[in-house]
C-alpha cells in the first residue's frame, strides 16, 4: 500500500533488520581456539585465504603500474565497497558480511590509474576503534559483553555497495541508512536521509535506477514484518514510500523493476521473533515451503499479486523487463538453500575449505505472465557452471537487456588444496545462448566485473569489461580491462596496485 512518511515512520520507528533487544544473553565467546586462531593457522596451509584477511590500516593510496595498452577513451572512476576490517585485535568476526566497510576509488585518467581506499567512518567503526574491541552485534557475530544497540545505524557497517546519484556518493548497507561519502577524499560525511522523516528507515544495497534517473528501492523491517518501498526522482527527492506486510518475514537481498512493476522473491528463510543469537541465526530454512513471489504495481503499491516458486535462495538478479504482451523476464543466480550465506561464509572466516559444488549458484531465467498470473523458471546453463554477481549495461536498467556479465566457475574442476570459488568472468548473450569466458590463473580470485560503454556508443556490444582481482601470490590487487567482444582473449590492459586488499562486494563506474 502507499502511505505517507509519517505512517511509515510510525511503523518503522525503532525497528530494523537487526532487532534492538534480546542480544545480551546470546554471547559468542572468543575462546582459545577462536575464529582468529583457526583462520591464521589455516592461512599457512591455504595462502589464498589472504583474500579474507583484515586490512592492516585505515587508508591506502598509490599510483598503479600499467601493463598492456589502456583504452584511450576509458576514463572515469570505479568505486568499490566491501567488508574489509574482519578483525579487531585478536577478535575475528564469524561471518564475511560482518567486516567494517571500506570504500575504494580507481581513478582512470590520461595520467594513468590511481587508487585510493579508506575505511567508512560509521558510528560503529569510530566507537570500536576508540575502544579497541568489538562492541556491537553484527550480521553473524555477537561479541563478548556486547554493548546495547540503541539505533539501526549504530551497527550499520555500510559495507555492501555504492550508489552515485543526484550528485551524491552513497555507501550502502542493508538494514539502515545510506552513508554519504566525499567523492574526492572518500571521507565519510555521515548518514544520509532522502527525507528527514525517513531517517534511519532501511534502504537496501541494490536500488534499481531507470534511464531517466528515477530510483526504486526496498528495505525490510524484520521485527515489524514489513517491506518498505522507496520511489526517488533523479534529483534525490522522495516521491513516495510504501509498505508491504509479509508474514512470515524473510530476508530478501535484491529485487528487480520493470516499466510497470516491482518484483521480489521471498525465500522460506523465515525470521523467528523469539530466537536468540546473531541476526542470521534468528532465521529458519523451510525447504518444504514455497518461495513467494510478490509483484507490485509501481503506480499503486497496494496492487499486489502473490505467486509461488519452489524453495530457493537468490542473492542477485540481473535486470527485468516487460514485453508488450505483459510477460516479465529476468535472470537470477539460484541456490537450493541459503547455506552459502548461513554456513559457507562462516566456514571461510575460520579458514575452512568450502566445496563450491555443494549448493552452487546456477543462472536461471524467470518468467511471469501478467495476464494469467503464473510464474516459471528455467536453468540456462548446465549444473556444473556456478555463477554469481550478474551485471548488465546500466543504460538498459529496467528495460530489455541482451547481455549479462558475471563471475562463473566449473564446479567439476575443484581441489581441496586450492581456492574453490568462482575463477572466471563470463559474458552471456541471451539471444544466441552463447557464453564466452576467461579463466583466471590459479593465483587470482576475481571480484565483480562491470560493463563500461565506449564513449558515444549506445550498443551493449560496444564497450569494455572492467574488473578487479586479488592475486594472492603477488599480494596485489589488479584492475583488468577486457574488450567486451573478446573476453576469452584475456585482459588487454592491467593496472596493478603495490598491495592486496580483501575481497569486496559491489561497485559502480562513473564516467569522466
Annotate 9-29 with DSSP letters as a single string. Answer: HHHHTT--SS-SSS-TT----
Torsion of CA 233, 239, 245, 251, to 10 degrees: 30
Cβ neighbours of residue 124 closer than 8 Å, sequence gap 6 or more: 100, 135, 136, 154, 155, 156, 157
DSSP 126: H
Query: CATH no. for residue 208?
Result: 2.130.10.10
Provide the sign of the torsion angle of the four alpha carbons 181, 185, 189, 195, taken in this order.
negative
Give tens-digit pLDDT for 97-128: 999 999 999 999 999 999 999 999 999 999 99
**Residue 76 near residue 108 (C-beta atoms within 8 A):** yes
Quote the mean pLDDT of the chain: 92
Q: Residue 215 — pLDDT band, cuts 50, 70, 90?
A: very high
Work out how many domains the chain is built from and give that number: 1
Does 15 score more than 80 pLDDT? Answer: no
Give tens-digit pLDDT for 228-244: 999 999 999 999 999 99
C-alpha cell at 204: 537496501
The percent of residues in the chain predicted with pLDDT above 90, rounded, is 86
199-213, 351-365, 418-432 — most confident range: 199-213
Range of the domain at 194: 2-511
Q: Residue 194 — pLDDT band, cuts 50, 70, 90?
A: very high
Choice between 274 and 201, residue whose per-residue pLDDT is larger: 201
Does 58 score more than 90 pLDDT? Answer: yes
**388 three-class SS:** strand
Distance in angstroms (rounded) separating the CA atoms of residues 228 and 207: 12
**420 three-class SS:** coil
- Please tell me whether the peptide bond between 248 and the residue prior to it is cis, using omega within 30 degrees of 0: yes
In this prediction, residues 158-176 reach a mean pLDDT of 97
* pTM score: 0.95
Distance in angstroms (rounded) separating the CA atoms of residues 103 and 381: 34
**Residue 387 near residue 340 (C-beta atoms within 8 A):** no
Distance in angstroms (rounded) separating the CA atoms of residues 138 and 475: 29
Q: Residue 420 — pLDDT band, cuts 50, 70, 90?
A: confident
CA-based max dimension of the chain? 62
Choice between 15 and 20, residue whose per-residue pLDDT is larger: 20
Does 418 score more than 90 pLDDT? Answer: no
Residue with cell 585465504: 49
Does 336 score more than 80 pLDDT? Answer: yes
Give tens-digit pLDDT for 291-320: 999 999 999 999 999 999 999 999 999 999
Does 192 score more than 90 pLDDT? Answer: yes
Res 4: pLDDT: 52
Q: Residue 456 — pLDDT band, cuts 50, 70, 90?
A: confident
Distance in angstroms (rounded) separating the CA atoms of residues 61 and 115: 6
Give tens-digit pLDDT for 353-391: 887 777 899 999 999 999 999 999 999 999 999 999 999
Amino acid at each position: 500500500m502507499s502511505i505517507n512518511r509519517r505512517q511509515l515512520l510510525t511503523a518503522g520507528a525503532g525497528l530494523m533488520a537487526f532487532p534492538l533487544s534480546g542480544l545480551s544473553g546470546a554471547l559468542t565467546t572468543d575462546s582459545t581456539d577462536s575464529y582468529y586462531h583457526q583462520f591464521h593457522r589455516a592461512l599457512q596451509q591455504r595462502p589464498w585465504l589472504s583474500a579474507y584477511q583484515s586490512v592492516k590500516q585505515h587508508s591506502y593510496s598509490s599510483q598503479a603500474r600499467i601493463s598492456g595498452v589502456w583504452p584511450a577513451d576509458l576514463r572515469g572512476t570505479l568505486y568499490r565497497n566491501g567488508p574489509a576490517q574482519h578483525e579487531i585485535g585478536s577478535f575475528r568476526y564469524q561471518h564475511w558480511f560482518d567486516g567494517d566497510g571500506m570504500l575504494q576509488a580507481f581513478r582512470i585518467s590520461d595520467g594513468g590509474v590511481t587508487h585510493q581506499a579508506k575505511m567508512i567512518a560509521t558510528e560503529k567503526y569510530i566507537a570500536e576503534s576508540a575502544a579497541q574491541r568489538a562492541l556491537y552485534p553484527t550480521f553473524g557475530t555477537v561479541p563478548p559483553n556486547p554493548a546495547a544497540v540503541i539505533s539501526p545505524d549504530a551497527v550499520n557497517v555500510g559495507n555492501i555497495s555504492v550508489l552515485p546519484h543526484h550528485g551524491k556518493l552513497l555507501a550502502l548497507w542493508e538494514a539502515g541508512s545510506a552513508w554519504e561519502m566525499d567523492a574526492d577524499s572518500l571521507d565519510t560525511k555521515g548518514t544520509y536521509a532522502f527525507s528527514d522523516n525517513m531517517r534511519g528507515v532501511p534502504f537496501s544495497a541494490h536500488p534499481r535506477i531507470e534511464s531517466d534517473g528515477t530510483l526504486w528501492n526496498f528495505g525490510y523491517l524484520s521485527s515489524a514484518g514489513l517491506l518498505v518501498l522507496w520511489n526517488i526522482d533523479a534529483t534525490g527527492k522522495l516521491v513516495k514510500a510504501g509498505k508491504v506486510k509479509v508474514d512470515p518475514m524473510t530476508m530478501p537481498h535484491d529485487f528487480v523493476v520493470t516499466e510497470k512493476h516491482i518484483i521480489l522473491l521471498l525465500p522460506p528463510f523465515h525470521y523467528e521473533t523469539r530466537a536468540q543469537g546473531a541476526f542470521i541465526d534468528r532465521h529458519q530454512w523451510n525447504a518444504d515451503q514455497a518461495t513467494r513471489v510478490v509483484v507490485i504495481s509501481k503506480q499503486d503499491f497496494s496492487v499486489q499479486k502473490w505467486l509461488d516458486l519452489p524453495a530457493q535462495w537468490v542473492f542477485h538478479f540481473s535486470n527485468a523487463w516487460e514485453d508488450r504482451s505483459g510477460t516479465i523476464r529476468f535472470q537470477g543466480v539460484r541456490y537450493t538453500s541459503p547455506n552459502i550465506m548461513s554456513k559457507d561464509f562462516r566456514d571461510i572466516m575460520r579458514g575452512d575449505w568450502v566445496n563450491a559444488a555443494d549448493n552452487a549458484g546456477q543462472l536461471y531465467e524467470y518468467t511471469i505472465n501478467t495476464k494469467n498470473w503464473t510464474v516459471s523458471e528455467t536453468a540456462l546453463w548446465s549444473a556444473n557452471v556456478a555463477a554469481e554477481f550478474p551485471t548488465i549495461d546500466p543504460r538498459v536498467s529496467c528495460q530489455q537487456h541482451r547481455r549479462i556479465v558475471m563471475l562463473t566457475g566449473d564446479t567439476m574442476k575443484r581441489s581441496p588444496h586450492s581456492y574453490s570459488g568462482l575463477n572466471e568472468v563470463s559474458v552471456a548473450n541471451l539471444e544466441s545462448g552463447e557464453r564466452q569466458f576467461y579463466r583466471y590463473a590459479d593465483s587470482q580470485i576475481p571480484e565483480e566485473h562491470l560493463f563500461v560503454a565506449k564513449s558515444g556508443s549506445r550498443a551493449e556490444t560496444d564497450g569494455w569489461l572492467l574488473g578487479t582481482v586479488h592475486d594472492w601470490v603477488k599480494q596485489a590487487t589488479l584492475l583488468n580491462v577486457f574488450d567486451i567482444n573478446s573476453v576469452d582473449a584475456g585482459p588487454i590492459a592491467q593496472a596493478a596496485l603495490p598491495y592486496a586488499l580483501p575481497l569486496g562486494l559491489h561497485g559502480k563506474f562513473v564516467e569522466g
